[in-house]
Amino acid sequence: FAFVYMDDERDAEDAIRALDRTEFGRHGRRLRVEWTK
């Protein structure tokens, strides 16, 4: 788990859209990027 703080909510939304479900690591795992609950 990781938590990232961003000053601009629009930048955070862009990052979520760009990174969610992207492949990560040697084993092809997918990142889950979402708003904190």
Task: Give the model's confidence band at 37: pLDDT under 50 very low, under 70 low, under 90 confident, else very high.
Answer: confident
Environment class of residue 8 by beta-carbon count within 10 Å: exposed (0-12), middle (13-18) or buried (19+)?
exposed
pLDDT digits (tens, 9 = 90+) for 14-33: 999 999 999 999 999 999 99
CA distance 25 to 10: 27
Q: With 0.85 as the threshold, say if the pTM is over it.
A: no
